[in-house]
Every structure is written in C-alpha cells, then in structure tokens.
Chains A and B, each alone.
Chain A
Amino acid sequence: MSERLCFVEDDQTISSLIGKKLSSLGYGVDRFEAAESIWQDDFVRWDLFIIDIMLKGERNGRELCEQIRRKTSTTPILILSALSEPSDRIDGLKSGADDYLIKPFETEELILRVKGMLRRRSWYGQWPRHESTFQWEENEIDFANLSGRHAGRAFNLSQKEAMLMKLLVEHEGEVVNRSEILDKVWGYHVFPSHRTVDNFILRLRKFFEPDPKTPKYIHSVRGLGYKFSR
C-alpha cells in the first residue's frame, strides 16, 4: 500500500503541481487549502504532512502542527513556507515540525526530503520494547513511547527529538558530526539544513540539562558536531 501524504497549501498552482509530482512517484496525496479542513481529524491516516504556514482561514500552519502533535508524535511534518527568517524557522520547529523548507524550493530537494523523512519514519519500530528506555542521573527517556522525564517532570518528545537523542546516546563519548545526524535522523544530508540540527539540540538541552546554557550531557564539539556524555 502506498504511503499517504497530507499537503496543506493555499496556493492552487503549488498545491496541484506538487501534488501531481508526488502522486507520479507513487504516493497518495490528499490536498487541503486550510487548517480548518482537517482540524478535527485524528491524523492517523497520513504518513507525512507537508504544511504551508500562511494559510487561508483563521488558523495558520504552525497552529496546525501543534494540533497534529497533540494527537500524534511520530508522523513527520515538513513545513513549506515563504517566511525565511531564522526566527520563523525556530518557531516552525518549535511548533512540532521536523524540518523547514523555504520557498521557492527545488522540487528535487522537496522530494528527497519527503523520501528521507518517510524512510526514517519506521525507526521506532526497530526497538525491542524492553530495551527502549535509557536512564542517567535525574533523566529518563522512553524511545518507544516517545516520552521523557527530567527531575520528576514528565514530557513528550517528538520522533525526531527521540531519534537524535538515541543517536547521541548510542555513540556515548564519541563525537557525532552534523552530516551524520542529518543522514541518520532526517534521512538526507546534502542540503543546507544544519541549522535544523542546531535547533533540535537546543530543544534537547532544554529537556534534559539542569542548565541548558552550560550543558553537562549534550556537548557541542567545536567545528565537529555533538557528543553525549554522562
């Protein structure tokens, strides 16, 4: 059965041409113009969301991302937007998206990202349930349930956050470079998305570090990448 994509974009030309392109690659594509069209959905019928930020209607794409994340934390979300400032990207990722692509984009780049994100989607299923938790000091992560705990406070992780943390934990004490992170977690590494990794690292520090400004566990290694150590 082909993978189903949900594409929320209010520009008819972009929506229909990208929709056609993705359909020609074998994906089932459902297109919508406004967040309200799917707001009440349970979102489980789709394998990936592609969402524009500035949409028709009352709600914008960021609000839709938050709504999707309230109901599913594993389905990848790719934001497609004309807003190109670093703060727009950070806000987009904060709302639960896994990546952010700025318009005008290269169609090939969009397709590679979609393929990469779908490839990495089945990641959490690889984990035997009994091995799915990892604890250190006051922290705990459940990779299967995508949840975490820090000093008694519980929270949910997005799939990408959990995957990134898993990659760092598996290479404890070693430096994992950003290209490797993009390749293993996002499924692609050739495009300029390093800022995405940096933004996710900042979020992980907020979850697990006692003081995110002076990290104790998730370290940046000058010019190389990131390292987890206890």
Chain B
Amino acid sequence: MKAFPKTSDYSRAIFIGITLLILSQVTWWTFVFLKNVDEKANLELRHLEFKYGEASSVEKRVEADQIHQAASRSHFMFLSESVFFALLTCVGLYVLFSMYRRDQRIRRQQRQFIEMVSHESKTPLTALKLRLESIAETYEDRDGLKGQISLAVTEIRRLSGVLQKVLDWDRMERHELIFEPIVLREAIDRIMHRLGPLLEQRQVVVEINVSSGLLVQADEMTLSSSLQSVIENAVLYPAEVLKWIRVDADLDSRGRVRLLIEDNGEGISQADRSRIFDRFYRGRSISAISGTGLGLYLAKLFISAHRGSIQVVDGKGKGACFEIILPCAPEGL
C-alpha cells in the first residue's frame, strides 16, 4: 500500500500568527492604559501644586502619596489583568489548535482507511468476476445460469464503480484533481463505450451532438464519473419507457461549455429537482429501480470542484434534462 500523501498544513503558522497578533494587541492596550494612569496622576499632582502652592505641607505630602499609591495600584491591576487575559487567550487558542489538529488527524486516518479498503477490494472483486465468468464458460446454461451470472457480473461492475467514485472523492478532498484540456466529445464517447453493452441490451438510441472542437478544463476521471452518473440515471428507467438519450453541447453567453443530457423517460418532478443531488436521495418516481443514491450527489460535488454547475432544467420533451456548465480549456494549447 502506498503512503498516503500529506497535504500542506499551515495550521501551526496560523496559530502562531493569531497568538502574536493578540499578544501585540494586549501589549499595546496595556501601554495605552498605563500611559493614561500616569497622565491622570500627573494632572492630580499639578492640581495639588495649585491647591497648596510651592510650600511643602503635611497635607500636601499625604495627598501626593495617595495619588502615587493609587497610580501604582492601577499599574498593578492593568498589568496583571493584561497578563491574565493574554494567558487565557493563548491557552484557549492552544486548546482550539489541538482539537483542530486532532480532528485533521482523524480525518486523514479515515481517508487512509477508505483509500485502503477501496484499493484492497479491487483485487478480490476482479478475482470474483473472473471466477463467475469462468463458471459461465465452463458449465452448461441450465436454469438460466448464464443470465444469473451475467447479472452478478453487472453488480460487480456497479460495486467497482462505487469504489472508484469513493477514490475520486478522496482525491478531490486532497485537492489532487488534475485539471487539463479534455476533448469533451472523446470523454463522452468513452463513457458510451463503457455503457455500450447496457445501452445495447436496453435498445436505447443514443444521439450525440457534441463537436470534437469543444475542450473543457477538467479532471478526466471525475468528469467522466459525473457524466456517467447522469447517463446511468436515465438508464435506471424501465426498458419499455426509455427509448433515447440525447447529448448536446454548445457555448453559453459567457463562453463556458453548456452540456445538455436529455432522455425520454418519466422526467423528474419539481419536488425531486431540488433534492435529487442530495446524498442517498432517490427520486420517488424511480424508487423501485436499483441505484445507490450516490452518483448524482458526487456528480454535483465533482462538477462544483470544476467551478461548474449541474442542475435539472426543462427539456424539449417531458423526460429528464440535466444542464451541466463547465469551464472551457484556456486558449493556446
């Protein structure tokens, strides 16, 4: 297992910076207060001069001593309060900092664990898939054996897709997405190739109107995963309902790529539109159909990480229509 890369951590520097800032503020205000106390004492002493004149008297000395003692008490009070509050602030900040570090450490360990489990599951999944395929090839097709195995293999593919999404999410959390110019048409063609057997089996007509000249600035894996989730969302409809999926792309008024993925399914109700991107949420209209409720949630996270957006809009027909906005690749590449 490869080592989990450490993300850059500025928390210690931020903690030291905030502490120094607070200490310098406390020092400054202490200085201002002490200066005020001294000025007040001087004014009172001058007032004594007016009251008693130049000559020294017992009353004058007693009052002058009282003024000096009061000033000393104020000095002591301001200094001790300043030190106390400065210490309290530093201790509070240190406790916050320790909790933050602990939280970060736990999050890192959790991510390491997720990454390890996802990676380590892939090899046994591969072995399981090969074993099933081997059984299908070796034994006679009795009692729908091959059909059952084919379904099991589809479930394995789905599970490995979920594992890959988790790994992509982890990569996004670590700020390790690689944004580069991607030919949108090629990315869509690759997804359609991956989904080919499923689309063929369901006899879905796919129409792609995306020019090969459109380049988006994207991380290939998370972009593909997001677009695949949207297309798979359409494929969740029963075969007798879903007849076609259409993918269109053009540039919007701000020069960004606007991708529309539309199907002729049952559509997404207004109530579901706002919640369809929530974690584990599965629309009422498709609740009887298999799905994890994770695909569109992660698709929204991934597309947002691209500084893009995804939403359900009104299409030309009554089916679902997803609008995905993505930044164009910079010129000159």
Contact = CB atoms under 8 A, between A and B. Distances in A.
Interface of A: 11, 13-14, 17-18, 20, 54, 82-88, 102-105, 107, 178, 190-192, 194-195, 220, 222-224
A84 B129 contact: no
B129 A104 contact: yes
Contacts of B215: 222-223
B62 interface: no
A190 B193 contact: yes
Contacts of B126: 11, 14, 82, 103-105
A17 B130 CA distance: 7
Nearest to A18: B130
Contacts of B123: 11, 14, 82, 103
Given A11-B123, A82-B123, A107 B213 contact: no
B164 interface: yes
Nearest to B137: A21
Contact of B125 (A104, A192, A223): A104
Interface of B: 1-2, 119-120, 122-127, 129-131, 133-134, 156-157, 160, 164, 167, 171, 176, 178, 181, 183, 186, 190, 193-194, 212-215, 220-221, 329, 333
Contacts of A85: 167, 171, 176
A192 B190 contact: yes
A104 B160 CA distance: 7
A178 B190 CA distance: 13
Interface centre among A13, A82, A104, A195 (most CB of B within 10 A): A104
Contacts of B178: 86
18 contacts: A14-B127, A17-B131, A17-B134, A20-B134, A82-B119, A82-B126, A83-B119, A84-B119, A84-B164, A86-B220, A86-B221, A102-B122, A103-B122, A103-B126, A107-B133, A190-B193, A192-B194, A194-B186
Which 7 pairs of residues, A with B, have the shortest CB-CB distance?
A13-B127, A82-B122, A104-B126, A17-B130, A192-B190, A103-B126, A103-B122
Contacts of B124: 11
Interface centre among A11, A17, A102, A190 (most CB of B within 10 A): A17
Contacts of A194: 186, 190
A13 B120 contact: no
Interface centre among B2, B120, B212 (most CB of A within 10 A): B2
A224 B215 CA distance: 10
A227 to B, nearest CB: 13
Given A86-B221, A220-B333, A11 B127 contact: yes
Contacts of A86: 178, 220-221
Nearest to B115: A85
A147 to B, nearest CB: 31
Contacts of B2: 83, 88
B167 A84 contact: yes
A107 B215 CA distance: 32
A198 to B, nearest CB: 8
A54 B119 CA distance: 11
Interface centre among A11, A20, A222, A224 (most CB of B within 10 A): A222
A11 B131 CA distance: 12
B300 to A, nearest CB: 22
Nearest to A194: B186
Contact of A104 (B1, B134, B156, B181): B156
A207 to B, nearest CB: 21
Interface centre among A83, A84, A102, A223 (most CB of B within 10 A): A223
A82 B123 CA distance: 6
Nearest to B120: A82
A94 B282 CA distance: 43
A88 B176 CA distance: 13
A30 B96 CA distance: 59
B183 A223 contact: yes
B212 A223 contact: yes
A146 to B, nearest CB: 29
Contacts of B181: 222
A208 to B, nearest CB: 19
A195 B178 CA distance: 12
A106 to B, nearest CB: 9
Contacts of A107: 130, 133
A178 B120 CA distance: 32
Contacts of B183: 223
A179 to B, nearest CB: 9
A54 B1 contact: yes
Contact of B193 (A83, A104, A192, A195): A192
